[in-house]
Each structure stands twice: as C-alpha cells, then as structure tokens.
Amino acid sequence: MASSLLSLRATSFPSTRTFTHSPNSKPRKLGIGGRRDFLALSSTSSSERAGEEENKDDKPGFNPFGFVTDNPSSRSAIQLPESPAEDGNVGQMLYRIEDKGREYGSYVRSGKLRWFVRETGSANSRLGTILFLHGAPTQSFSYREVMSQMSSSGYHCFAPDWIGFGFSDKPQPGYGFNYTEDEFHSALEKLLEVLNITSPFVLVVQGFLVGSYGLTWALKNSEKISKLVILNSPLTVSSPLPGLFKKLRIPLFGEFTCQNAIEAERFIEGGSPYVLKNEKADVYRLPYLSSGAPGFALLEAAKKANFGDILGRISSGFSSSSWDKPILLVWGLSDKYLPLSEAEALQKGNPDAVQIKQIEGAGHMPQEDWYLKIYSSSKVKEIKYFICSQNFPIFYPISAPVTGLPYYCTKHLKCKTVCFIF
C-alpha cells in the first residue's frame, strides 16, 4: 500500500518530487515504514514531453475507408517503385502519373457534360468511322493501340470515356445525371451529334455494365450501325456476374468497395492471364486516386443496373432474325469471367448474322492484348476482312498484292485499296 501511495503521489501531483535516473544507473531503492519496496520512476524532461505531444498530433485521424486502402497489400500496390515517397503516398503518386493515359484525347462538351474522347484519323478517312465503347470499371485507354492501327489503315476512330468513367465528367448522382441506362443512352446520342457522326458506323463494344448499355443502345439504333464487333461481353441471361458488381450492390459494403483505388486494375487482372505493367495500371487507377467521384459513379451505375433485364434484351435482340447487321464476336479464350459458351449461344440464335473469332491467350480485354495476342496472329486478317468486306461478298484475286494479302474487294477495285483493313 505504501508503495502504491508513493507511486500515485509521484505521478499525479505537480508539486510532488519526481525521481530520475540515468540510462546506466540502477533503480533507486526507497525504504518506507518497516518494509523495503522498490520503485523505478523514469521521468522525462519537459522538452521530451512536449515532443511526445507533438508526435501525437502528427498521427493520422480515423479513416472510415482505412481497411480498404490502408493495408500493406494496397500500399504496396499503389506505390510507384521509382517514387521517393513512402507508404503509398497518394499525393506524390498523382504528381507522377497525372499526365499519363491521355493519348489521342481531348475534352468535348455535350450539353452540361464534358466527355473525354480519343480520336485518330480524320473526317475524310476513306473507310468510314469506328466508335469504340468500353465497359466498367475501365476506360477508353484500353483501345489506344487498336485505334492507332485502325486510323493508319484508313478509318476515323473515336473512343469516349463514358460519363462517370476515365477522364470524363463524374457528376454527383441526382445533380444532372443519375447513371441510369436511359441517361447513358441519351448522353451518347448527344455526343454523336457533337462529333458529327451521321453515316452508319462500325460499333465496337466490350465489357460489363456500360459496355452492355452500348449493346442495348445498338438494339434501339440499328439503322445507325453498319457492323457490330463485340469483344468479351456478357450476352446471355446466365452470364456470370463478377464479384466486383456483387459487392457494389451490397448496402454499406458497396460504399467501401467503390473507394478502393486499385479496384479497376484488380478487375482487369482478375479476368486475364497476365498482370498489368505498372505504366498501364497507373492509368486505370488514376481516376480513382484523384477523388472519390469515380468510385461513387461506379457504385451508382451498378445499383441502378437491372442486369437480368439488360442481358435478357441483349440475348433476345441479337438472336432475333430482325437483327440483320453483321456481328463479329472476338473472344479471348483466357477470359476468367466469361466463357466461350456466351458467344456460342448468341451465334446459335442468329447464325446468319454472327461470326466468332477465338483469340488464344487473350483474356477479358482482348484489346489490351492487341499486339501480343491479336495483331501478331493470323486472326487479325479475319477481323479486318470482316470489317471491310462483309457487305461486299464478291472478291477478285490479284497476282502480286503489295501488302501480301490476297484480295481486293469489289468496293475498292477502282482505288485499289486492300480489303483486309479493320
């Protein structure tokens, strides 16, 4: 008891004497009453105590999303190896990557919304226009290599970031844009007017959610489309739904999930047999690092989507004989989200309009494998053949084509343009 009282007095009252010892000294022995008790009191100087208080103030406050991004795995994933910052410093990282991923792109205003649109080729390109639409949670960056190749082959190419994605505007839900299917369709219609895309064009679509909205828009506007190319997209009511979209639809848990800055790159890698290189991963995560708006836009779009109804319309619409525009399904066979049976089911429903081209080794986003898995393979010739020649089935052989490709199509007999052009 005596020892306890002394400890209380020594530590609780300013006027009480404190006992100090040097680091190399032994604890003092203090005799109280008839007993010998041992008490070691290590006090610090006033300057040291002030330093401790200052360090307490430097500690980060509570972060409700901490369990999502403030862990060793996420910090390692979002830290640039060459950055001098430590512990995944987001500010330093944004400084390093803020200008990445904007190849061929500029902002286009449509009404109150700004779209980030990539464009290659020119309005007088001899073979017409191709519009590339991405899926969620990615962006038009995935089409950069394809667009470069297609424009050099004679096409005028556009690839917008959907509203709420990539570098396009991300309005707060309820303030001018609610992320419903109808609003995405309406916004796309207005963008096409601004881009002055009037003639029937080739539509290329890939991916989930907003990718599916590209397909439902096509069903309502078939007269505006000359051909349709679908890269690994859900096409039947039995299409598996990736875990990301399931998590986003869970109350409260979705709010935390959508703020994971590396969710987009994880989604891409999760559906593919490869790991993204740092320079690519930087671009896919950049919007989610910049602010919380992209995550909440993705969350709102996922909550508003009726996946069963959307896929039912896609399956019945393109399987119907009323859809008579040529469809090419380019399918990466290493897609871990969507099996080849998705494409086969659609072809079975409309065999006269649908063709399938299988790409060995390509995953959920074949366009990211363009050079490695598509452009270097013989399949690319078949894809180019489809785009240019589907409406012109009569071909004439030539003896010594400059490019080494075997035919000219009837459309280009006068200008001698090779028909194998995507």
What is the pLDDT at residue 370? 58
Q: Which of 106-115, 179-188, 381-390 shows the lowest mean pLDDT across its residues?
A: 381-390
What is the pLDDT at residue 234? 98
326: helix, coil or strand?
coil
Q: What is the DSSP string of 73-132?
A: HHHHHTS-TT-S--S--HHHHHHHHTTTT-TTEEEEEETTEEEEEEEES-TT-TT-EEEE
What is the pLDDT at residue 402? 37
Q: How confident is the model at residue 24 (pLDDT cuts 50, 70, 90)?
A: very low
Q: How confident is the model at residue 192 (pLDDT cuts 50, 70, 90)?
A: very high
Q: Which of 148-157, 165-174, 409-418 shows the lowest mean pLDDT across its residues?
A: 409-418
What is the pLDDT at residue 389? 57
Q: What is the DSSP string of 195-244?
A: TT--S-EEEEEESBTHHHHHHHHHHH-GGGEEEEEEES---STTPPPPHH
Q: Which of 99-103, 218-222, 311-315, 361-365 shows the lowest mean pLDDT across its residues?
A: 99-103
Asked if the model's pLDDT at residue 42 lies above 60, the reply is no
**410, burial (CB in 10 Å: exposed 0-12, middle 13-18, buried 19+):** middle
Nearest to 118 by CA among 168, 158, 156: 158
What is the pLDDT at residue 245? 94
Within a 10 A sphere around the Cβ of 124, how many other Cβ atoms? 6
- Round to whole Å and give the CA distance between 372 and 33: 86
Tens of pLDDT, residues 65-91: 444 444 443 444 433 333 333 444 545
What is the pLDDT at residue 335? 95
- Round to whole Å and give the CA distance between 339 and 232: 9
Average pLDDT over residues 268-294: 87
Asked if the model's pLDDT at residue 1 lies above 80, the reply is no
What the chain holds in terms of domains, given with CATH numbers, is 2-60 (no CATH), 99-389 (3.40.50.1820), 392-422 (no CATH)
What is the pLDDT at residue 305? 96
What is the pLDDT at residue 92? 52
Percent of the chain with pLDDT over 90: 45
What is the pLDDT at residue 374? 52
Tens of pLDDT, residues 237-274: 999 999 999 999 998 888 888 888 788 889 999 998 87
- Take residue 312 and report the two structure tokens written for it: 């039912």
Q: How confident is the model at residue 140 (pLDDT cuts 50, 70, 90)?
A: very high
- Round to whole Å and give the CA distance between 230 and 233: 7
Q: How confident is the model at residue 96 (pLDDT cuts 50, 70, 90)?
A: low
Asked if the model's pLDDT at residue 48 lies above 60, the reply is no
What is the pLDDT at residue 337? 97
Average pLDDT over residues 398-410: 38
Tens of pLDDT, residues 365-375: 998 875 555 55
Tens of pLDDT, residues 337-363: 999 999 999 999 999 999 999 988 889
Nearest to 348 by CA among 235, 221, 239: 235
Q: How confident is the model at residue 7 (pLDDT cuts 50, 70, 90)?
A: very low
What is the pLDDT at residue 275? 83
What is the pLDDT at residue 153? 84
- pTM of whole model > 0.85? no
* Distance set, CA 223 to CA 44, 108, 216, 220, 315 (Å): 82, 25, 14, 9, 19
Asked if the model's pLDDT at residue 159 lies above 90, the reply is yes
SS (H, E, C) 14-39: CCCCCCCCCCCCCCCEEEECCEEEEC
What is the pLDDT at residue 400? 34
364: helix, coil or strand?
coil
Tens of pLDDT, residues 295-331: 999 999 999 999 999 999 999 999 988 898 999 999 9
Asked if the model's pLDDT at residue 205 lies above 90, the reply is yes
Percent of the chain with pLDDT over 70: 64
Mean pLDDT for the chain? Answer: 75
Average pLDDT over residues 42-66: 46
